[in-house]
Amino acid sequence: MTFERRFIRDLVHEEHRTDGSDVEKIVRGLKECYSAPDRHYHRGAHIIDCLETFNAVHVGMAASREIRAAIYFHDAILDPRRDDNEEKSADYAKHQLLLLGYLPSFCERVADIILGTKHTGGLVDRDQQIMADVDLSSLAASWSTFSENTHDIREEYHWVSDDDFRKGRADFLKNMLKREYLYYTRSCRHLFELRARDNMTRSIQELLA
């Protein structure tokens, strides 16, 4: 199923008084965000992977529509030189969801969930915890996929020297590994924790070799 069809299936419903041309414009704009030429990891494929992880692990949740909306928009704005991408993505999500006919309270909630992907730790909001876990599920991919993802992230930081990227990436992974748990939810800990830690430890060794 295409990105566009998934979006319409998940987020465009009869109660939203939006004509077809508006929906098409909103979906096209979001797809263009994830198809920008400077995107390598944070592309539409990452969004679909997150959606499939959420569907598999957290099926039947009461807030499922809000979290799905957050997944679609959480990386909409990406400038690796800035540290406010999550805030800008949250604002973009609010604006686009309002255009789709969602209530302001729903849009604000989605924006709050997106802020959970700053990955600074200490989240207490359950929906933010789930969003953060889904976003980091790729850390538990097969080693070949993990390595490809690291390469793609490197491409998004193309202006950074190799030495600086390796050090920065290793420091990020080391700081993550200091946490008691990488994942907040029991289901994601069960499925992803050990493999993710193995991948991260191996990656640090390679980055600093």
Rg, Å, the chain Cα set: 17
Q: What is the pLDDT of residue 24?
A: 86
Same domain assignment for residues 20 and 86:
yes
Q: Which of 83, 117, 151 is the last residue of a domain?
A: 117
Same domain assignment for residues 5 and 89:
yes
Same domain assignment for residues 86 and 148:
no
- What pLDDT digit, counting tens, does each position of 76-115 carry? 999 999 999 999 999 999 999 999 999 999 999 999 999 9
In a domain, 19, yes or no: yes
- What pLDDT digit, counting tens, does each position of 130-150 carry? 999 999 999 999 999 999 999
Residue numbers of the domain that contains 98: 1-117
In a domain, 192, yes or no: yes
Same domain assignment for residues 20 and 95:
yes
Q: What is the DSSP string of 106-144?
A: HHHHHHHHHGGGG--S----HHHHHHHHHHTGGGGS-HH
Question: What does each C-alpha distance from 63 to 60, 93, 98, 102, 178 come to in angstroms?
Answer: 9, 16, 18, 14, 30
Q: Which of 88, 117, 146 is the last residue of a domain?
A: 117
Q: How far apart are CA 48 and CA 113, in angstroms?
A: 18
**Chain centroid, CA 71 distance in Å:** 6
Same domain assignment for residues 111 and 140:
no
Same domain assignment for residues 66 and 164:
no
In a domain, 43, yes or no: yes
Mean pLDDT, to the nearest integer, of 61-73?
87
- What pLDDT digit, counting tens, does each position of 140-182 carry? 999 999 999 999 999 999 999 999 999 999 999 999 999 999 9
Q: How far apart are CA 196 and CA 182, in angstroms?
A: 8
In a domain, 5, yes or no: yes
Choose among 208, 49, 65, 205: nearest CA to 139: 49
Same domain assignment for residues 102 and 202:
no
Confidence of residue 13 (pLDDT cuts 50, 70, 90): confident
Number of domains in the chain: 2
In a domain, 191, yes or no: yes
Confidence of residue 67 (pLDDT cuts 50, 70, 90): very high
Same domain assignment for residues 110 and 149:
no
In a domain, 128, yes or no: no
Q: What is the pLDDT of residue 18?
A: 58
Q: In the predicted model, is pLDDT for residue 58 greater than 60?
A: yes
Same domain assignment for residues 8 and 101:
yes
Residue length of the chain: 209
* Contact criterion met (CB below 8 Å) for 192 and 183: yes
Choose among 209, 80, 44, 47: nearest CA to 155: 80
- What pLDDT digit, counting tens, does each position of 182-194 carry? 999 999 999 999 9
